[in-house]
Chain A
């Protein structure tokens, strides 16, 4: 079984709709992240959480919100979807090792199309 899962894997929605992307992990990590990737581009951080009570904005948080329901679950919501939010969304978890090494483990991604 995959350590980091995302649902749905693909989603088509209409402008103005509210949608939620869900992420679950079985790695026991405290840190979780949501990224957005546009074609041919890198990963842009939307939100991150270092533990259940900690939520932080990333570089492109406008139009998005998150909820950390438990250590294992981190959801991303688009309050009112717009076409330029069409992208590939990745959830990731990480552990922080001694010396500061942080390795991130990514889910398979959710491909979102906003019409």
Chain B
């Protein structure tokens, strides 16, 4: 099966940078995804990494190291609207996605 670990909560101030780490154990690994969920809302897709390295999408970047079974989501220039929960998810051969427990990010003024 698959398992993922990520911190439960991170607090930072507006304008700061936050890094959310995700370590995983899986077989037949395809890629690592990140989803964002605001309170009361549905999860929405943020990014996907299949290969080692950094993928940048605006203020958000996602990194993957397949050899270390590790990835992170980097949130830069934090804004109040970035307060949300962030989930990493692994895709493996023949299987559905498996989600981590989520990291709650609280952005303070």
Binding site for B on A (CB under 8 A): 31, 33, 40-43, 45, 48, 90, 94, 99-109
Contacts and interface: CB of A to CB of B under 8 A. Distances in A.
Interface in B54-79: none
B83 to A, nearest CB: 14
Contact of A42 (B44, B48, B100): B100
Contact of B97 (A41, A99, A104, A109): A104
A42 B89 CA distance: 11
User: Chain A interface secondary structure, helix, strand, loop or mixed?
Assistant: strand
Contact of B96 (A31, A105, A108, A109): A31
A39 B87 CA distance: 15
Contacts of A102: 30, 33, 91, 96-97
Interface residues of B, number: 23
Contact of B43 (A31, A48, A99, A106): A106
A85 B54 CA distance: 40
Contacts of A107: 42
Contacts of B50: 99-101
Given A41-B101, A42-B102, A103-B48, A33 B42 contact: no
A49 B91 CA distance: 16
A89 to B, nearest CB: 11
A100 B96 contact: no
Nearest to A102: B91
B87 A108 contact: no
A27 B48 CA distance: 20
B45 A100 contact: no
A109 B50 CA distance: 29
Between A33, A41, A90, A104, the greatest number of chain B beta carbons within 10 A of the residue's beta carbon is seen for A104
Nearest to B9: A40
Contact of B87 (A42, A45, A48): A42
